Amino acid sequence: MENLPNIKDPNLLVGFETSDDACVYRINDVTAAIHTVDFFTPIVDDPYWFGQIAAANALSDVYAMGGQPAVAMNLLCVPNCLSKETIRRILMGGHDKAVEAGCVIAGGHTIQDPEPKYGLCVTGYLHPERILKNAGARPGDALVLTKPIGTGVLTTGAKASLASDEDYKAAITCMATLNAKAAGLIQEFPDVHACTDITGFGLLGHTYEMASGSGVTLYLHSHRVPLLNGARELAETGIIPAGAYRNLDYVKPHLSVEPSAKQALVDLISDPQTSGGLLVSLPEEQAWRLVKKLHAQSLPGAIVGEARARQEWDVVID
C-alpha cells in the first residue's frame, strides 16, 4: 500500500507503516479508537471451536495495542453445502468468545464462497497516550512471550494423525484463549516499549517486524521459548507447515542463526501461529516482575530474548 495515494490525517496515530497489529484513530484528547479485522479458513474441524479461535485471534490485535475491545462485526464466507447448523455453531463460537471479552457483536456481513472463512472486524478504545506499538523496543530491554508456540506444527500433525489427542486438544484450547488477562497485567508496567501478538508470521516474523520498526537487533534464545506439548517432537520428525518456510525466507536476509541453535527450534520459531501470545519489550527488571505476575495468575510467560543496539542482523537466534 505504500505507493498508493492516501489522505494525511493527524488524528491517525497508528497506520500501516510499521506493520502494526491495528490502526489507531484519535477521537478526542482522552479517547482513541482501535480498528482491526482478521478472518481465515478453518484451523480445526469443529465449527464451534473454529468460531472461538477466529474470534480470539481477531480480538488479540486490540489487546496487543493496549486497548479493550468494545464492538465487533462478523465476517463470514460460506459455501452452499455448509449446513445451517454448522454456520450457527461457527457464529456461536465467535459470539461466546466476544462475550467473554466484554465485546458486543453488532451484526456483520456474509457472502457465498467455495471455502468457509470466519473472523471479526473489531473496534476497541484506549487513551491516546497509552498506545502500545510494535515499534519502540530499546537496547537493554528483555522480551517476554505470554503463550507457548507450536500451533502450526500441531495442527499439521493432527491432519496426518501424528499428534496425540491430548496435545492437539491443548493446542486448540491455547488458540481459543484470550490474551485479555495477560494484556491487563502488561498494562500495569509503565515502561513497556513495544508489544505485538504472534500470529501468521510466527515468532520469528513478528520479532523481525519489531526489530525493524524499533531500529534494534533482537536476540531470541531458542532454548527459552516455551513450546506446546508435542510440538518439538513433531518438528524433529519434519512435520513443519509450509508457512514456516515462507516465514523463514522472509526474514532470512535479516537473520543470523548461531551454530548451537537446534534446527527443530529454528523451525518452531518460524512456525505460523494462530491466536498466539503477546510479545512484549520492556526493561529487564520489569520483565522478570511481569513473568512472576503472569505465573501468579496461572498464565504462561517466559523471557525469550533481549534487545541490543542494531548490528549487521536484525534478529539473531541462538
**Residues 203-214: pLDDT tens digits?**
999 999 999 999
Which runs of consecutive H residues, i.e. helices, occur in 43-83?
47-64
* 257 vs 7, higher pLDDT: 257
Band of residue 73 on the pLDDT scale cut at 50, 70, 90: very high
Q: Indicate the pLDDT class of residue 1, thresholds 50, 70 and 90.
A: low
Give the integer Cα–Cα distance in Å for 77 and 241: 24
In this prediction, residues 96-121 reach a mean pLDDT of 97
In this prediction the pTM is: 0.95
Q: What is the pLDDT of residue 2?
A: 63
The region of weakest confidence among 6-10, 249-253, 287-291 is 6-10
User: Would you place residue 275 in the very low, low, confident or very high pLDDT band (cuts 50, 70, 90)?
Assistant: very high
pLDDT in tens, 152-169: 999 999 999 999 999 999
Q: Express each pLDDT in 2-57 by its tens digit.
A: 677 777 889 999 988 878 889 999 999 999 999 999 999 999 999 999 999 999 99
**CB half-sphere exposure, 313, CA atoms < 13 A:** 17
218: pLDDT strictly greater than 60: yes
Complete domains list, the chain, with CATH? 12-130 (3.30.1330.10), 141-317 (3.90.650.10)
Backbone φ and ψ for 24, nearest 5 degrees, come out as -130, 130
pLDDT at 293 over 80: yes
- Tell me the chain's radius of gyration from C-alpha atoms: 19
Q: Please, what is the average pLDDT of the chain?
A: 96
Confidence of residue 85 (pLDDT cuts 50, 70, 90): very high
- Asked if residues 175 and 151 have their Cβ atoms less than 8 Å apart, the reply is yes
Place of cell 525469550: 304
